[in-house]
Amino acid sequence: MSETLKHLFSPVAINTLKLKNRAVMPPMGTGYGNKDGTVNERLIRYLERRARGGVGLVITEVCAIDSRGKGFPTEIGAWSDEHIPGLASLAAAVKSAGAAIALQLHHAGRETVKDFIGAMPEAPSDLPSAILNQPCEAMSLERIREVIGAYAEAAGRAREAGFDAVEIHGAHGYLIGQFLSPFSNRRTDEYGGSGENRARFAIKVLRAVRAKVGVDYPVIIRVSSDELIRDGYDLSYMKWLAPRLVEAGADALHVSLGVYSTPGNLTIASSDMEEGFNLFRAREIKELVNVPVIGVGRIIDPRMADAAIARGDADLISFGRQLLTDPDTLVKAQEGRYDDIRWCLSCNQGCIDRLNFEMRSATCTINPDCGFEYRLTDEKAPASKRVWVIGAGPAGLSAAIAAAGRGHSVTVFERDEEPGGQLVSASRPPHKEGLAKWTRWAARTAEKAGVKLRFGEAVTGEMIATEKPEAVVLASGADSAAPAIPGIDGPGVREARDVLIGKAKMESPAVVLGAGYVGMETADFLMAQGASVTVLDMSQSPPVPPYTAHGYWLHRRLRKGGRLLLGAKVTSIDGGAVRYEMEGKAYSEPAAMVVTALGARSERALEEACAASGVPCVVVGDAVEPRRLIEAVHEGAKAGREL
């Protein structure tokens, strides 16, 4: 074992539960469960795979203690004895893979909708969710007693099913957090008003659970150390509350942050936040309690985790999205193989954004295996083929890795002198360096798998006709496109990619045409270089949603250092100015530099050449249609697996 990780890989105990190390997989919603709340093979294999990666404790995603408390349609449950067999299979699988497992007990309160639960959402007060804006009803005293009992009964089922511990979800603005917070609790009885009254529900839940499971069974509670919202509670309140939670029966505190309406979604922070940004709050809680504290908050690198434990920030560390991206992170780190680790981008594209905004089950943007472990095999192809992959962008590299894994002889051709495709420029704006790290990882992984990488070499139709590969994956990407605006070919106009990679000299003031991710991130890049920036877009609403974590920070930085003008139709570019119309009026914006970020056009000319030569060809990524990174990586991997 690497000496640098001796703290992370030292044993620790939570009550009577002895853990082999201090690495925790925290709860993360997946949407993999069945609609009746039962566990299925997909969820079992997904968590089993993370357990095999060396983590000491796995905490399941949210598990509803009452059918009225589900936060999404496929949330697993423990409100009935009928759930016990599936939960038992899950617990057994994780434990056989070498990790301990805790079941997270959850009630969404007002953070759900009637269609999911078949009833009106319930909460401390009849205030609708700030995010969902759904009507809800205030819980009666009788209903409060019922729900407290439901937490206890669910904990008993968890113990019966073989779980090593339970974690009570008191964070992120769900039911327990709703009682704790003046943001959501306007009651005037013994459950509202003073800080002590608002804590009463959490305290009673802990005591009821403890009475049900006994003194020797580990009970963890997850809390938001600070809600970071107007009228919410802050760190000082949680510091007051933490010792009282321990007195009520908590054997460990899992110190998270925020609620889902916290600006910037710091509960699941994007790459805009520094790694480990929440650890100081865990330390402040740890100084006040005599039970283990679990630190969490964009912690990716085991070396950082080890240092945090050594400093006394926390006793255990949660690695969340990093274990989606690379379930073997801990094993690789323990062996000193840091170059082999696929590092999380903190992009949220494949996990929480997909679950919350697209209502689809979670995966990982750059790990196409995540969530599909139940149907993956290591089976080799019946016969090895000579495969050409045209393009070393994300789709091409993913296809090459997957095809080589099937046993094919793979060659990747890239017309540029380096891999990455559009990720070369996309990695240059602030906080986007992770894209370059992934590109380097993918190229190394491909080479280790035997893939030949040929850079600075553009494939032609003649090459395909002459050498006749047995299969082609066309991952040739997309080229920039721009509408026919008068002056758009002028000397002061530059394409966003050229600006980002340094082919174009920065000048100020700059006007960026297009407020999609390319335009907004290019504006971010220019502002970081000191330029004055205005972004123009025809859309009436922002193409980059400000409610996503990364979108929030992009808009915030632009408000501080530049301008975003929506509903602006550019009419011409001339004389150092961009002329545009808004609401029927003409305007002019001075521009020493005009940057175009107006979309892209797929490049798939070689598809015809393959057809003419009788070579099977599959088109992937932006060559199909310009889209996101997740589509490129997943389509490429699928194409490689199916060869």
Question: What is the three-class DSSP state of 315?
Answer: coil
Tokens, residue 315: 């006793």
Longest dimension (CA), the chain: 83
The residues pairing with 579 across neighbouring beta strands, listed in sequence order, are 572, 588
Contact by Cβ (8 Å): 313, 277: no
Helices 141-160 & 195-213 angle (0-180, nearest 10): 40
205: DSSP letter: H
In the residue annotation, 338 being an active-site residue is answered as no
Identify the burial level of 379 via C-beta atoms within 10 angstroms of its C-beta, where 0-12 means exposed, 13-18 middle and 19 or more buried. Answer: exposed
**Measured torsion, CA atoms of residues 565, 566, 568, 570, in degrees rounded to the nearest 10:** 70
Contact by Cβ (8 Å): 292, 14: yes
> What is the rounded CA–CA span in Å between residue 164 and residue 216?
11
| Selected catalytic residue, list 32, 174, 233, 580 | 174
> What is the rounded CA–CA span in Å between residue 609 and residue 616?
11
Centre a 10 Å sphere on the Cβ of residue 19 and count the other Cβ atoms it contains. Answer: 22
Task: Provide the total of helices (H) and of strands (E) in the chain, helices listed first.
Answer: 21, 28
The residues pairing with 138 across neighbouring beta strands, listed in sequence order, are 123
Q: Which residues contact 514 (CB under 8 A, 6 or more apart)?
A: 496, 535, 536, 537, 596, 597, 598, 599
Question: What is the three-class DSSP state of 337?
Answer: coil
The full DSSP string for 486-530 is: TTTTSTTEEEHHHHHTTSS---SSEEEE--SHHHHHHHHHHHHTT
Q: Which residues contact 346 (CB under 8 A, 6 or more apart)?
A: 269, 270, 271, 273, 298, 300, 321, 434
Q: List, in sequence order, the alpha helices (H) in 161-257.
A: 175-180, 195-213, 235-248
Containing 251, the helix (H) or strand (E) segment is none
Residues in the chain: 643
> What is the rounded CA–CA span in Å between residue 372 and residue 369?
5
433: DSSP letter: T
Q: Can you list the positions of beta strands (E) in 141-289?
A: 165-170, 219-224, 252-256
> What is the rounded CA–CA span in Å between residue 62 and residue 33?
11
Contact by Cβ (8 Å): 538, 567: yes
Question: What is the three-class DSSP state of 602?
Answer: strand
Q: What phi and psi values does residue 277 have, to the nearest 5 degrees?
A: -65, -20
> What is the rounded CA–CA span in Å between residue 46 and residue 94?
10
> What is the rounded CA–CA span in Å between residue 266 and residue 261?
9
Containing 267, the helix (H) or strand (E) segment is none
Contact by Cβ (8 Å): 175, 71: no
- Which positions are catalytic? 174
